[in-house]
Amino acid sequence: MKARLPAGYGGGGMGNMQQMIRQAQKMQEAMTAKQAELDEKEYTTTSGGGVVEVTITGKKEIVALNLKPEIVDPDDVEMLQDLVMAAVNEAIRTVEDTNAAEIGKITGAMNMPGMV
């Protein structure tokens, strides 16, 4: 007696495997292209109501840091440090969230370790 598998489970042989490999390669190419695009993108975030502004690339490199003169108080350096850290951390979160969302569109939200 021969067991029959439901449609989509086996029976496709080598052709089905080759198709899956081609799809995986196509997905990898799309992910590589999207990651390159995202790496070049710039994100700008602010903190303290706009007195600190950080611009960061998709590679998480800070390319600009702007401070409004009114935030520079020699007697309160700690506040300035906190505002700069808050803006940088928000910029990093923005990059990571955007990258995850864009790559998720390509992978169909599959859980693929090491991808982003």
Mean pLDDT estimate for the chain: 85
* Average confidence (pLDDT) over 44-52: 93
User: Beta strand pairing status for 62-67 and 42-47?
Assistant: unpaired
HSE (side-chain half, CA atoms, 13 Å) at 26 = 6
* pLDDT tens figures, 70-104: 988 889 999 999 999 999 999 999 999 999 999 88
Q: Look up residue 112 and give its amino acid.
A: M
Percentage of residues in the chain having pLDDT higher than 90? 60
Tokens of 39: 């790496």
pLDDT at position 5: 58
d(CA 26, CA 20): 10
Fold observed for domain 33-97: Ybab; Chain: A; (3.30.1310)
Q: Look up residue 34 and give its amino acid.
A: K
Nearest to 60 by CA among 88, 84, 35, 32: 88
Q: Where are the domains of the chain?
A: 33-97
